Amino acid sequence: MFEEAGGRLYRWVLSPLWRGRLRAARSACFLSPSSLTYNLMVVYSPLTESEVDRAFQALTDVTRRDILRRTIQGGQSVSGLAMHYSMSFAAVQKHVAVLERAALVTKERRGREQIVHANRPTLGKVAALIDSYEQLWIARADRISEILATEREEPE
């Protein structure tokens, strides 16, 4: 279930338990909106869903992460990158192409060489998204700790 508020799209996620209760309540023709517990996960991203998918898919491979690390340190030619890996030049080119489609790197032609540079604006957006998820999960873990501490303090 999606809801738009303040120019942001919020996704409301029902747990499987509540989905079953919701179906049962609808079929019985009584549904009190206050009886449902929603789990709201709001993470603002300057990237579109497809951009996020492409970026994370590109980062799943260890070779691509290493190529990205090397290009962050400074622009490198594709042939220079290929020397660091026990794979063909064409394979390294394909890895660079995946990173380029995800907008994590850019290529610049200098004579016969293609120089690969890290795309810092996109990397900043991906880092901000990851930081948002980190803060969200830290807050959730803290909340779980608070709930568990409260349950331990209450006598049964």
Full DSSP string of 43-104: ---SS-HHHHHHHHHHTTSHHHHHHHHHHHHS-EEHHHHHTTSSS-HHHHHHHHHHHHHTTS
Tell me what the pLDDT averaged over the chain comes to: 79
76 and 136 in a common domain: yes
Mean pLDDT of 89-115: 95
pLDDT confidence band for 39 (50 / 70 / 90): low
Quote the domain boundaries for residue 34: 1-42
118 and 72 in a common domain: yes
pLDDT for 20: 54
Q: What number of CA atoms fall less than 13 Å from residue 114's CA on the CB side?
A: 14
pTM of full prediction above 0.75:
no
pLDDT for 119: 95
pLDDT for 35: 43
pLDDT for 48: 83
Answer with the residue of higher pLDDT: 154 or 120: 120
Residue 151 belongs to domain with CATH number: 1.10.10.10
- List the end-to-end C-alpha distance of the chain, in Å, as a whole number: 37
CA distance 95 to 118: 14
Q: State how many domains the chain has.
A: 2
Residue 47 has pLDDT above 60, yes or no: yes
Print burial letters for 83-101: b (CB count within 10 Å at least 16), e (below 16). Answer: eeeeeeeeebbebbebbee
Mean pLDDT of 42-69: 87
Percent of the chain residues topping a pLDDT of 90: 52
pLDDT for 36: 42
Residue 88 has pLDDT above 70, yes or no: yes
CA distance 2 to 14: 11
Dihedral class, residue 128 (left if φ above 0, else alpha if ψ from -120 to 50, else beta): alpha
User: What is the distance of C-alpha 63 from the center of its chain?
Assistant: 19
61 and 30 in a common domain: no
